[in-house]
Amino acid sequence: MPSTNLQNFIDFKGQNFYVGLDVHKKSWAVTIRSLGIEVARFTQPPGGESLNNYLQRNFPGGRYHSAYEAGFCGTGIHEELCKQGIDNILVHAADIPSTDKQKKNKTDLHDSRSIAEHLERGNLHGIHVLTQEQQELRSLFRFREAKVKDVTRVNNRLKSFLIYYSIHLPESVSKKEYLSKRALNWLNLELESPAGTIALQQYIA
């Protein structure tokens, strides 16, 4: 971990420290700012406890504020940081101001530095964090949406296959666009070659 001259102070009571985080599965890029200057920048293993230990050890008595982009990791890190006493917010990536140069020279530490700078300036505003129950309900809804799309997609592929080989379902089996279980059972046919039969079976499966 890097050290700074600010460590010479015994107590930072009431002083604000702004922590920009770029979080990933295997590491976090961390930038810390206070009083308009960058006081630390480093990479650490993931974990709110180790970050809090660093802050407490190097800047005891300070008020710690942090932010990171909402993404694949969900809200678990946010909850962990809050439990450690760090005032954290989740921010939407599109809400973080950036220059064209920053967009072309993106690195984890550059991203954490940008977040820390804008957090200190008051440019960042956290998104609403859903409760665990709300997130689980949303996950179920999204899963259902995805499954409906999957079913529609495979139905369309099978219907295209049937049209290509001029296979027509009799109206007594199905009058609907959706391929019912009855229709799929009827389609248990043998084509001219084993390859065609296997292809049909796989579309049905």
> Which domains are present in the chain?
5-121 (3.30.420.40), 132-204 (no CATH)
Half-sphere exposure (CA, 13 Å, Cβ side) for 159? Answer: 12
Q: What is the pLDDT of residues 86-136, one digit of tens each?
A: 999 999 988 888 765 666 677 888 999 999 999 999 999 999 998 889 989
For residues 178 and 19, the model is more confident at 19
What is the Cα–Cα distance from 158 to 111, expressed in whole angstroms?
46
Mean pLDDT of all residues in 167-196: 82
Is pLDDT above 60 for 7?
no
Counting every residue written for the chain, the total comes to 205
Label residue 185 by pLDDT band (50, 70, 90): confident
pLDDT in tens, 58-92: 999 999 999 999 888 889 999 999 999 999 999 99
Can you give the pLDDT at residue 184? 83
Report the mean per-residue pLDDT for the chain. 88
Residue 27 confidence (pLDDT) above 60: yes
Average pLDDT over every residue of 166-191: 81
Q: How many CB atoms lie within 10 A of CB 176?
A: 8
* Packed helices 48-58 and 76-83: angle between N→C axes, nearest 10 degrees: 40
- Cα separation, 133 vs 83, in Å, equals 19
